[in-house]
């Protein structure tokens, strides 16, 4: 017998099953077969089925089963011993008869089986009469766990009007009991709340639609599902879960206008784009299912337009074209609204659109005058006399009272000088003759104003074209420089000419060229018309001599094809050049200039040479003057400039001999003998103490300053820019008084500066200034 049958899943019992030595190694490997009691015939263990309920609540040990050896003579000579998991604590054995008891509460969900070992020994010899055998006690399950919905609460969404049987969602409960034995973990689902709209499958927990529901009636339902174990039998445990089911919207409702008839009004002065009014259609759906578009049907769509406000779902009626109260005072339009997104499943229930009537009244307003045309185009011939008629503009008041209007010209004072308008009848005339060549078009703006309301003004553009009149004769387009060589032969082309005309010809200009009548007989040149608005100038004779005649003036007659035709005489100047084969224009211009000046080439060269000599002489004088301006002491000045050293700080006083490089201040020519400087620190401190009792006129101060000046004059290492002037005198706050002249009540005249003359050359100028000042003051 295989010991793997010991782990067969059975509820509510504890099963003891032995493993003989031959099958001991297989008992822990396979436990899937059911239990079968076996009694051994040969010498060995005798095993019997043993049972105990799980979750035993009795405090006394509970009998499980009995171990018995076939060598037991019931004389008390054998002793039974139990070892392994829980032996002595959970399980105990009666060593006299082999009965096994459980002493504690067992929980299959914590430990499903226990492995123990049994042994029978002889009390006298303490030797085993049976080999130690291992067996397993499996804890059988009881229904001690309630079902649980671990994923609750549930929320599900299903489209409204879904057909019966549509799956909504699935709920699942779990049970901690053993699902492989008995009914402790077999669950049964039922609907506690939610009828008659929903149903639930008892075994799977799938919630389905039990009827069609409309979201617009109710959009949310609360369903309660119960799960029972033990297949719903008496004494079973149960649990409930709440399922919130939302109905999502579908487009199952058409839009509906709130009114069957709307009344609106608009002023005839309203510009294009003015909002006339709004219409609104309701749709019970939400989101994009309630999106709609508005339209205008019929001929009124030319005057009015309607757009959809996507945020408010309103239809906004706009003015598409200006309205006129005098022309039409009332409009009736048909507005239609259509769902933007339509569900084909509900088309059979009717069209998803609606229509309404909108009546719009045009309100009368005091309108400005209206011109018969927005733009007028007029013509007038150039040169027309002042006061000539150009054209007439007409405007009238469109209102019923037909108020008279007054005309005027605006935009530019110069236009008023050219044109004027009769303010009563709109007649435009010229105020002076017009010239097309100056301006071929004139653009003016004419206004019409109501005589009873000057604020009502309208404008019209008037474009006036000045028609051309042949009043300009043709002429040369430029000045021609024409040259002829002295060795030119007869019939040689020396110049090609053309002509221009400021007038405008409708058929195109055509010019005719010929020699003037006075030059026809004795001219040495001829004119040949090329019939393409150009002509060629040819020599009529061979050989020209500059000495005889330097230039020729050839009168050329040019005729246009205008009505009437105009002619002009243009003079072509021909210069004779001294050349062999080709005419050099520059040489010819140079010769013409010299000829005009009356100078020969030799004379011109002499003039240029004189000019060059004068220029060289002038430059030499300037160079000499510049040389004289230089200082004879340039070397010393350069040395002086190099010795200028700038210091931006004040230094550290007389004792600061390391702050500056004094060698730059020494000259090369004058070097004074070095005289050691005295250590004046102690001397300064002594003078400071003495100054507290003496004034600025004290002999001590004068002696001290004189010594310092002498030392500075003879010491080359002393910087000339830094002099020690230490006055240990604290000012007016001290008993000695102040050395400053700012707070002094005595004038300079009261002081004697004669001692400045004793300070040497550096203070000579200062002594002179104070001495002269004192003399002047005296």
Domain ranges of the chain: 50-140, 148-248, 256-363, 370-467, 481-577, 682-772
C-alpha dihedral sign at 741, 744, 749, 754: negative
The stretch 568-579 carries a mean pLDDT of 87
Provide the pLDDT confidence category of residue 658 given band limits of 50, 70 and 90: low
Which range is least confidently modeled, 441-455, 473-487, 628-642? 628-642
* Count of CB atoms situated within 10 Å of the CB of 358: 23
Q: What integer pLDDT is reported at residue 200 of this predicted model?
A: 93
The 10 Å Cβ neighbour count of residue 368 is: 20
pLDDT confidence of 62, banded at 50, 70, 90? confident
- What is residue 293's predicted lDDT score, i.e. its pLDDT? 94
Radius of gyration, alpha carbons of the chain? 67
The CB density around residue 261, as the number of other CB atoms within 10 Å, is 10
Given a cut of 70, is residue 59 above it in pLDDT? no
pLDDT bin (cut points 50, 70, 90) of residue 550 is confident
pTM for the structure as a whole:
0.43
Percentage of the residues of the chain whose pLDDT score is greater than 70: 73
Per-residue model confidence as pLDDT tens digits over 371-406? 999 899 999 988 889 999 999 999 988 877 778 899
Q: How far apart are CA 610 and CA 618, in angstroms?
A: 12
Residue that wins the pLDDT comparison between 6 and 259: 259
**pLDDT recorded at residue 667:** 43
- pLDDT surpasses 50 at 12: no
Residue 348 is given by DSSP the state G
370-467: what fold?
Immunoglobulin-like (2.60.40)
pLDDT at site 642 = 46
Pick the residue with more confidence: 353 or 523? 353
> Among the CATH numbers 3.40.50.970, 3.30.1050.10, 1.20.1630.10, 2.60.40.60, which is that of 481-577?
2.60.40.60
Class of 50-140 in CATH: mainly beta
Domains 256-363 and 370-467 share a fold: yes
CATH 2.60.40.60 fits 148-248, yes or no: yes
**Model confidence at 344: pLDDT above 60:** yes
pLDDT at 397: 86
Between 716 and 697, the more confident residue is: 716
Tell which residue, 306, 309, 361, has the closest CA to residue 334.
306
- Identify the CA nearest to 725 among candidates 774, 691, 754: 691
Unique residue bearing structure tokens 């506690």? 192
| Percentage above 90 pLDDT, the chain | 26
Which of the pair, 250 or 50, is modelled with greater confidence?
250
Separation CA 351–CA 344 (nearest Å): 10
Gap between the Cα atoms of 656 and 111, Å rounded: 101
- Arithmetic mean of pLDDT over the chain: 77
Q: Which has the higher per-residue pLDDT, 10 or 518?
A: 518
Statement: residue 175 has pLDDT above 60: yes
Selected residue with higher pLDDT from 104 and 241:
241
Residue 565 pLDDT level (bands cut at 50, 70, 90)? confident
Confidence category of residue 673, pLDDT binned at 50, 70, 90: very low
In the prediction, which pLDDT does 342 show? 85
Placement of tokens 């906004």 in the chain = 316
The pLDDT score that the predictor gives to residue 266 is 94
- pLDDT bin (cut points 50, 70, 90) of residue 650 is low
Q: Mean pLDDT, to the nearest integer, of 296-309?
A: 87
Q: Minimal CA–CA distance to 13: which of 216, 178, 195, 165?
A: 178
Residue 597 — pLDDT band, cuts 50, 70, 90? low
Q: What pLDDT was estimated at residue 702?
A: 75
What is the mean predicted confidence (pLDDT) over 527-553? Answer: 88
Question: pLDDT (tens digit, 9 = 90+) per residue, 705-731?
Answer: 788 777 777 776 655 555 555 555 444
Rounded mean pLDDT of 692-717? Answer: 69
For residue 695, pLDDT beyond 90: no
**Which of 387, 383, 467, 463 minimizes the C-alpha distance to 421?**
387
Task: List the CATH code of the domain at 256-363.
Answer: 2.60.40.60
């Amino acid at each position: 017998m295989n010991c793997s049958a010991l782990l067969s899943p059975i509820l509510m019992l504890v099963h003891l099953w032995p493993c003989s030595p031959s099958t001991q190694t297989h008992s822990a490997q396979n436990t899937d077969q059911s239990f079968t009691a076996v009694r051994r015939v040969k010498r060995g263990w005798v095993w019997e089925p043993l049972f105990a309920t799980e979750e035993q609540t009795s405090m006394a040990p509970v009998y499980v089963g009995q171990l018995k050896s076939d060598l037991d003579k019931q004389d008390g000579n054998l002793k039974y011993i139990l070892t392994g998991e829980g032996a002595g604590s959970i399980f105990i054995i009666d060593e006299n008869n082999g009965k096994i008891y459980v002493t504690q509460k067992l929980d299959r969900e914590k430990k499903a089986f226990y492995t123990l070992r049994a042994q029978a020994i002889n009390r006298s010899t303490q030797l085993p009469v049976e080999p130690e055998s291992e067996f397993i006690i499996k804890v059988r399950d009881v229904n001690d766990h309630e079902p649980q919905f671990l994923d609750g609460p549930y929320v599900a969404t299903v489209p409204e009007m879904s057909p019966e049987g549509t799956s909504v969602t699935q709920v699942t409960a779990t049970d901690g009991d053993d699902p492989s034995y008995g009914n402790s973990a077999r669950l049964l689902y039922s609907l506690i709340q939610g009828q008659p709209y929903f149903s639930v499958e008892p075994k799977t927990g799938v919630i389905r639609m039990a009827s069609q529901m409309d979201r617009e009636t109710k959009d949310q339902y609360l369903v309660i599902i119960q799960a029972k174990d033990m297949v719903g039998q008496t004494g079973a445990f149960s649990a409930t879960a709440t399922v919130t089911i939302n109905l999502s919207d579908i487009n199952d409702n058409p839009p509906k206008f709130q009114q069957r008839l709307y009344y609106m009004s608009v002023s005839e002065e309203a510009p294009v784009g003015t909002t006339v009014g709004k219409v609104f259609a309701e749709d019970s759906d939400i989101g994009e299912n309630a999106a709609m578009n508005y339209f205008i049907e019929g001929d009124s769509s030319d005057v009015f337009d309607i757009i959809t406000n996507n945020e408010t779902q309103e239809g906004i009626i706009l003015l598409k074209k200006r309205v006129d109260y005098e022309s039409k005072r009332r409009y009736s339009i048909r507005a239609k609204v259509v769902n933007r997104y339509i569900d084909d499943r509900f088309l059979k229930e009717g069209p998803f659109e609606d229509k309404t009537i909108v009546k719009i009244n045009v309100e009368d307003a005091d309108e400005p005058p209206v011109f018969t045309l927005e733009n007028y185009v007029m013509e007038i011939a150039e040169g027309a006399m002042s006061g000539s008629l150009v054209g007439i503009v007409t405007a009238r008041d469109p209102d019923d009272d037909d108020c008279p209007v007054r005309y005027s010209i605006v935009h530019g004072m110069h236009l008023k000088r050219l044109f004027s308008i009769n303010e009563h009848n709109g007649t435009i005339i010229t105020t002076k003759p017009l010239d097309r060549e100056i301006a071929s078009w004139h653009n003016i703006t004419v206004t019409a104003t109501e005589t009873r309301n000057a604020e009502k003004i309208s404008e019209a553009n008037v474009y006036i074209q000045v028609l051309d009149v042949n009043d300009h004769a043709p002429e040369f387009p430029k000045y021609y420089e024409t040259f002829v060589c002295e060795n030119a032969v007869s019939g040689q082309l020396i110049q090609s000419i053309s002509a221009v005309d400021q007038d405008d010809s409708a058929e195109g200009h055509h010019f005719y060229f010929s020699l003037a009548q006075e030059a026809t007989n004795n001219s040495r040149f001829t004119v040949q018309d090329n019939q393409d608005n150009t002509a060629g100038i040819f020599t009529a004779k061979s050989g020209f001599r500059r000495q005889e005649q330097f230039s020729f003036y050839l009168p050329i007659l040019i005729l246009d094809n205008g009505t009437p035709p105009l002619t002009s005489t243009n003079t072509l100047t021909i210069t004779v050049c001294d050349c062999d084969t080709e005419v050099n224009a520059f040489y010819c211009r140079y010769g013409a200039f010299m000829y005009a000046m009356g100078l020969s080439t030799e004379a011109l060269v002499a003039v240029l040479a004189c000019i060059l000599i004068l220029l060289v002489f002038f430059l030499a004088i300037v160079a000499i003057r510049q040389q004289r301006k230089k200082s004879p002491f340039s070397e010393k000045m350069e040395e002086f400039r190099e010795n200028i050293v700038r210091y931006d700080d004040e230094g550290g006083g007389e004792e600061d001999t390391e702050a500056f490089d004094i060698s730059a201040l020494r000259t090369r020519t004058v070097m004074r003998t070095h005289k050691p400087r005295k250590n004046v620190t102690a001397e300064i401190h002594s003078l400071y103490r003495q100054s507290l009792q003496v004034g600025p006129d004290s002999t001590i101060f004068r002696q001290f300053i004189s010594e310092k000046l002498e030392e500075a004059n003879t010491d080359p290492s002393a910087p000339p820019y830094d002099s020690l002037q230490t006055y240990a005198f604290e000012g007016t706050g001290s008993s000695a008084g102040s050395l400053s002249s700012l707070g002094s009540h005595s004038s300079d005249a009261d002081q004697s500066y004669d001692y400045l003359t004793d300070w040497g050359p550096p203070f000579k100028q200062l002594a002179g200034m104070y001495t002269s000042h004192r003399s002047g003051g005296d």
